[in-house]
Amino acid sequence: MPRELARPEAVAEPLAERTRYLHRRVVRIAPQRIEIRPPRSAVVVPLLGVALTAGLLAVMATSVDSLPFWLLGLLLLFSVLLLPLSGISLVYALMGANIVADRRGQNVSMKQRFLGLGIGTNELIPFWKIRELLVEDEGRAISRAAGDLPPEEIAQWQLVLVKKSGTRHVLGSVSAPRQHEEDALQQIVEVAEAFAALTDAPIRGPIW
């Protein structure tokens, strides 16, 4: 059941410019815009892909006379597929955003990602279509659904945007050992309050 959250004495203004970190997400909060981006560590895999492609092309260039024709064809095909995917992923990791809430546009843009690359179409959710912002502990909710099982040892707080149609979109999450769950909850609530201040949507929760 919902329970009152202990709050610190000094709380930042909901839309004061700042950066907060969730699980595999970086939240940049500004008075007119909130962006949820991948962390800088997301560049590692695409960089490896670019480096691997460069290595394969170098091997083909220096060994064109010694490698079988069929092997050269396979290496070339693999490189042609890998290079653009790695390049797009690298650009997305450096400059892309998963979710953008914009006060001027009065909407939340949710990127529909393809193969986890951050490319594809955007779903635009007008502010007036947002029913609520839900703060819930996924680990505890799952245990309740399964019966009288104890909560999981790791608290899994998540912020969910719920549309008036009932469609749910997870904006971000943060995990912590159960004994430190209120610290994790405070992180997710701060982001929820920023979204609520920007979109005028109500917050429901936290659901323990």
Alpha carbons 199 and 80: distance in angstroms, whole number: 43
The pLDDT of residue 191 is above 80: yes
C-alpha distances (whole Å) from 7 to each of 4, 11, 22, 57, 156 are 9, 8, 19, 57, 19
pTM for the full model?
A: 0.68
Shared-domain flag, residues 75 and 108: no
Domain annotation covers residue 171: yes
Domain annotation covers residue 123: yes
Shared-domain flag, residues 65 and 140: no
The answer to whether the Cα torsion of 115, 117, 122, 126 is positive or negative is positive
Alpha carbons 190 and 14: distance in angstroms, whole number: 7
Shared-domain flag, residues 133 and 55: no
Number of structural domains in the chain:
2
User: How far, rounded to the nearest angstrom, does the alpha carbon of residue 72 sit from its chain's CA centroid?
Assistant: 38
Percent of the chain having pLDDT more than 90?
Answer: 26
Alpha carbons 157 and 184: distance in angstroms, whole number: 7
pLDDT digits (tens, 9 = 90+) for 62-113: 877 777 877 878 888 888 887 777 666 666 555 555 788 999 999 998 875 5
Domain annotation covers residue 76: yes
Domain annotation covers residue 200: yes
